Amino acid sequence: MPTDETEPTDETVVETAAEAAEGVIFARYKQSQVKDFDVTVTFEDGVLEVDVYVNAPDEAEADAEAVADEAARAAREAVDELFEADAA
């Protein structure tokens, strides 16, 4: 099956999404505040799945669940932009 050589690789898509998600997490929290976090990204058959978990102190200003949701959205948007730039 022929592939479009200009399309981003699956690895590039996953890395782009993970970097965007981590960027949001550490824009909202100091790295020392984050007890634990996990960004899981899969990209198979053109389907992107992003799961973000953040464990931050209760006294942190930003709500961990809201930050995780924002990070997942940012990951998806970064991948959308990656494909849009590729199509241009």
Cα–Cα distances (Å) from 14 to 34, 57, 62, in that order, read: 22, 28, 26
* HSE of 62, CA atoms in CB hemisphere, 13 A: 20
Tell me what the mean pLDDT of segment 51-80 comes to. Answer: 94
Question: Do 27 and 62 touch, CB atoms closer than 8 A?
Answer: no
Domains of the chain: 10-87 (3.30.300.100)
Mean of per-residue pLDDT scores for the chain: 91
pTM of the model: 0.88
CA 6 to chain centre: 22
Distance CA 27, CA 5 (A): 34
Distance CA 8, CA 68 (A): 25
